[in-house]
């Protein structure tokens, strides 16, 4: 006896070969248990999984951008958000680096003459149609004059204590809001049309060996980075963005910049800083206030407080009045062979909220956080010992600390 489907109707053939029609069924009902199996399957569009899904080493591909907390994410989304937010940042060797809200003590929104612009940045200009504009969330560097070899339009930052850069690998990062540079005006090469990022040693006139050409790249709303190893520095070191007079083949430029970072090593951490809101305007203003905004030279615009004297300030912390005090640490720990520790005694039982300071030596005054010879700073509330550990011989440097604390 056999049963088969004919025209959607189950049909039976007996041993004598006679054919008998049974009752009509749908196609899915023609196989015992099939409908139950189908009821347990997910449809191609929509549906809700009610049990665990074992992938057996297979991938889920084609994910969209997540919008809800429980949405799955792609590897690229994870790399560009979570991993970058949880990465470790390096110190920025640039003062006044966040150009979405730059320190601009001169107060102008337009600078069209050679000289200082926003704090710590000088304009080099040989153009009647160029300059720097402080915009809403950016600083703009532009040169709209007819391209010639004499045109110069660059914004320059001068580094203090330049010997610390000698032979070091550094990474430069620039966050562009928008970017425009025209073609090659001199017929040499497209890349030679500028603009560039250039490290310069004034004594050796070393302009181009440590430079990077920006022209020819799509940089709107992106972070441009490059890594280089600097040579021995004989006297001064600065970094320029734009077109310098010693470069060949300049054209028109219009660069809107949101942030700049220079750091030791081969990894750029500017995006981490921007994602995690690492910028403090108050800290940058405190650093920039040590320089004359008109000349760029270091000078105490706001003189320091008297050493060893406690001042109560207007702030409170957890309902407690906050105090500040500056004290002279003296000569930093000395060890020709490596690390050394020394301390001074200050009042006990201070709950330090933050501290800052500077080091003095070799003709420089240097922010404490950017001094490479200091390895560690800590305070013992029981003994009142304020300790500094160095990782190099720092005998030619002394330090002053400024504490903020409550009692």
Query: What domains can you pick out in the chain, each with its CATH number?
Result: 2-39 (no CATH), 110-279 (2.60.120.260), 310-406 (2.60.40)
What pLDDT shows up at residue 187? 38
Sheet strands side by side (includes 9-13): 2-6, 9-13, 19-24
What pLDDT shows up at residue 13? 66
Q: Which of 100, 87, 95, 98 is nearest to 267 (CA)?
A: 87
Q: What is the mean pLDDT of each run of 10 residues along the chain (407 residues)?
A: 58 65 52 62 72 81 82 74 64 94 94 95 86 96 72 86 86 91 48 69 56 70 89 81 60 88 93 86 82 80 65 78 87 73 83 88 85 87 87 87 89
What pLDDT shows up at residue 251? 64
What pLDDT shows up at residue 32? 57
Residue 367 burial (10 A CB sphere; 0-12, 13-18, 19+): middle
Q: Would you state the structure tokens that stand for residue 383, as one six-digit string? A: 């003994």
Whether 215 contacts 181, CB under 8 Å:
yes
pTM: 0.56
What pLDDT shows up at residue 59? 84
What pLDDT shows up at residue 23? 53
What pLDDT shows up at residue 249? 45
């Amino acid at each position: 006896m056999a049963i088969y489907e004919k025209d959607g109707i189950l049909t039976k053939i007996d041993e004598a070969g006679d054919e008998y029609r049974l009752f009509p069924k749908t196609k899915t009902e023609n196989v015992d248990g099939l409908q139950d199996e189908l009821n347990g399957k997910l449809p191609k569009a929509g549906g809700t999984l009610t049990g665990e899904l074992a992938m057996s080493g297979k991938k889920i591909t084609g994910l969209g951008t997540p919008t809800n907390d429980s949405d799955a994410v792609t590897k690229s989304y994870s790399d560009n958000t979570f991993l970058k937010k949880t990465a470790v940042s390096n110190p920025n060797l640039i003062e006044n680096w966040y150009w979405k809200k730059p320190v601009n003590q001169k107060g102008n929104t337009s600078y069209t003459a050679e000289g200082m612009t926003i704090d710590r940045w000088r304009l080099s200009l040989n153009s009647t149609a160029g300059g720097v504009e402080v915009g809403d969330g950016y600083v703009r560097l532009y040169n709209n004059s007819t391209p010639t070899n004499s045109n110069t339009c660059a914004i320059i930052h001068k580094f203090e204590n330049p010997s610390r850069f000698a032979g070091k690998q550094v990474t430069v990062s620039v966050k562009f809001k928008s970017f425009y540079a025209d073609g090659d005006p001199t017929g040499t090469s497209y890349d030679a049309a500028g603009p560039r990022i250039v490290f310069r040693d004034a004594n050796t006139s070393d302009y181009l060996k440590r430079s990077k050409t920006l022209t020819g790249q799509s940089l709107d709303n992106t972070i441009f980075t490059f890594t280089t190893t600097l040579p021995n520095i004989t006297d001064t070191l600065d970094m320029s963005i734009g077109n310098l007079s010693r470069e060949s083949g300049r054209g028109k430029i219009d660069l809107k910049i949101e942030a700049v970072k220079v750091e030791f090593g081969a990894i750029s951490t500017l995006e981490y800083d921007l994602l995690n809101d690492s910028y403090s305007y108050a800290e940058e203003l405190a650093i920039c206030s040590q320089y004359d905004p008109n000349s760029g030279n270091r000078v105490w615009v706001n003189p320091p407080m008297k050493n060893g004297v406690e001042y109560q300030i207007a702030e409170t912390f957890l309902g407690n009045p906050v105090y500040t005090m500056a004290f002279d640490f003296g000569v930093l720990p000395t060890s020709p062979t490596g690390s050394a520790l020394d301390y001074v005694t200050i009042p006990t039982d201070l709950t330090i909220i933050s501290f800052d300071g500077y080091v003095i030596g070799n003709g420089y005054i240097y922010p404490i956080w950017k001094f490479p010879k200091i390895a560690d700073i800590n305070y013992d509330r029981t003994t009142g010992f304020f300790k500094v550990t160095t990782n190099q011989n720092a005998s030619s440097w002394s330090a002053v600390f400024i504490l903020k604390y409550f009692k």
